[in-house]
Structure 1
């Protein structure tokens, strides 16, 4: 069974890219998405991210739990935006097209729906790339790539350990959960939600203590091996940039340029179809 957010060595064009390329491309992609609210460009980036995810051959179940969690957060975010600023879209686009009244000062407008649609599609344009970056990047090779582009090797190694630790945390969680269920603590859907949340504390506390113990073990092992003594170090998994890496970075840069051009063409960050 595949664990969520765990790196898996798959023969795909995405996995063949170096960790540094994925990081650089993702940062450029995120910046391009944050700069503009041009709906046309954001939709294009969303479909392109889905295509890239398909090319990676990563199984959906590896990211499904995190994706559903993000979608719930996105729903709550949209509700909060409407509650606290129901006419933000009206102010941005300079027009007001009322659809129907809810209650009190709350009236649904076409401009507000379009504004919140842009926020949603902005999330959708970044989320697949962010999750893909995590599951398609070898932690050790990623640390070597970070160090290669100028990041201090201590920081690079810390990032590597954090990524590598995700499957271990999941394994510990499952083992503690099974042990607690064997003691009669019900975590199934048969229990009420409030009871399940309360019972989850019996898993979280042992998980925290086991994580702290693991951190202490790793720290002691690194200290005994004189980690950090020298200013530089070599990497076993270091890889050189290839043609695919340069092409990927160029594509990301093109998207960033398009985002900047769209901002200038729209006389601001927002594309206004109501003019």
Structure 2
């Protein structure tokens, strides 16, 4: 799989043996645990656990490298925005101020602000491996069965499955069209001016939109011929019953959520304050 594509990657691992419903439930539980608390200790443990699970899945970093780089850039920009718009939020939260150095105007870097923004970054990083793992270790059809199992209508679940299934195809079409246009002399490299590059990109987007519409029409016709949507319920070929490993995984994820609640009670709130 190309590094710029993100989709299901088949591997022989304990993570792949779990049902789609189990992986979805675990992702939600870990997300709730991570979003509930700002306790650095628990977030660090969740991050380490997520990385270990990613390693257990046997998914190679190169398969998701492009997405990881994009996320890191987003986190960098997010931290810059937080500091620009709220440079003393950490001071308000932790009730102390320890200046490190002054920048310009009203901006002064403080230990408390750095710690606050570190925790925000840690919150994102703690759940990102789990989210990526869910995306690359869950087959779209199995994911649809999982959504339907937790109460989502099978029409909506199937729509999500189709979208996930064809993301790699759309990405592949984009690259094919881009290479074809470049072969015709349309330059989209950094050598061209930004305005010219934006104009040249439309030479890719229009064919991509039309090819996607053709694919949508083909899929719609095929589903209508199979009388999709006539019945209120349907069975799923990819659905699997829960096994021992599924219950263990859900139990571990639930334990993390319970610990997050306990840490909130112990800390007297969502924030862990090491400055007291």
Q: TM-score range by the shorter chain?
A: over 0.9
Note the 1:77-92 alignment, pairs <5 A. 77-92=78-93
Structure-2 change in CA distance of 1:195 and 1:273 (3 Å)? farther
For residues 103-145 of structure 1, what are the alpha-carbon distances to aligned partners after superposition, in whole Å with 9 as ceiling and x for unaligned?
A: 1110000000000000001110011111111110011122223
**Residues 241-275 of structure 1, C-alpha deviation per residue, up to 9 Å, x if partnerless?**
11111111000000000111111111110000111
In 2, Cα distance between equivalents of 1:193 and 1:243? 56
Would you say the 8 A contact 1:145–1:239 is kept in 2?
no
TM-score, reference length from structure 1: 0.95
Rounded to whole Å, the distance in 1 between the matches of 2:51 and 2:196 is 38
The answer (yes or no) to whether the contact 2:34–2:123 under 8 Å persists in 1 is yes
Match in the other structure for 1:147: 148
Give how far 1:2 is off.
3.9
- Give 2:257's aligned residue: 256
The range that moved more, 143-152 or 18-27, is 143-152
Shift of 1:193: 5.7
Aligned counterparts of 2:245 and 2:194: Cα–Cα separation in 1: 48
Distance 2:196 2:137 in 1: 37
User: What SS does the corresponding residue of 2:163 show, helix, strand or coil?
Assistant: helix
Who is 1:70 aligned against? 71
Q: Secondary structure at the residue paired with 1:99? A: strand
User: What is residue 223 of structure 1 aligned with on the other side?
Assistant: 224
1:235 aligns with 2:223: no
Asked if the contact 2:24/2:146 (under 8 Å) is kept, the reply is no
**Alpha carbons of structure 1 residues 184 and 239: separation in structure 2 relative to 1, 3 Å:** same
Corresponding residue number in structure 1 for 2:184: 183
Structure 2 partner of 1:272? 273
1:44-59 correspondence to structure 2 within 5 Å: 44-59=45-60
- Look up the match of 2:106: 105
Q: Secondary structure at the match of 1:108?
A: strand
Aligned length: 275
Aligned-pair Cα RMSD in Å: 1.5
Deviation, 1:75, is: 0.8
In the alignment, which residue of structure 1 is the partner of 2:167?
Answer: 166
Give the corresponding residue for 2:36. 35
Query: What are the within-5 Å matches in structure 2 for residues 206-217 of structure 1?
Result: 206-217=207-218
Question: TM-score by structure 2 length?
Answer: 0.95
How far does residue 8 in structure 1 lie from its aligned partner after superposition? 1.8
Question: Counterparts of 1:144 and 1:270 in 2: how far apart (Å)?
Answer: 37
Q: Say if 1:191 and 1:53 are closer, same or farther in 2 by CA, change over 3 A.
A: farther
Is the 8 Å Cα contact of residues 42 and 121 (structure 1) preserved in structure 2?
Answer: yes
Alpha-carbon distance, 1:195 to partner: 4.6
